[in-house]
Amino acid sequence: MAQAAVRIKIMPSSPDVNLDEIEKKARKELEKLGAQIVRVDREPIAFGINAIIILFGIDEMAPQDPIENALRKILNVNSAEIIDFRRAFG
């Protein structure tokens, strides 16, 4: 079973939302789906909005849609999109 390294970008709905709360909920959702979180970064976008970028490892055969859909359902999340998916080892 090969592992994939995945980076996902989570965009908040406004610059005023609590990114720490979104990150906490995103970690919980990813862990429920079997992901092993490696790193979490914040990336400035525009107009005071910062995106959350999460790097995690997961089975490369795991479907991507449930990951994105679970994160999009978090309160104050505007979008969640996988921006990088590559085989890490295996």
Residue 25 Cα distances to 2, 21, 22, 69, angstroms: 26, 6, 5, 13
pLDDT in tens, 10-59: 999 999 999 999 999 999 999 999 999 999 999 999 999 999 999 999 99
Nearest to 64 by CA among 50, 37, 84, 89: 84
Number of structural domains found in the chain: 1
Quote the radius of gyration of the chain (alpha carbons, Å): 13
User: Tokens 């859909």 sit at which residue?
Assistant: 69
Q: Which domain holds residue 32?
A: 3-89
> CATH no. for residue 61?
3.30.70.60
> Whole-model pTM?
0.93
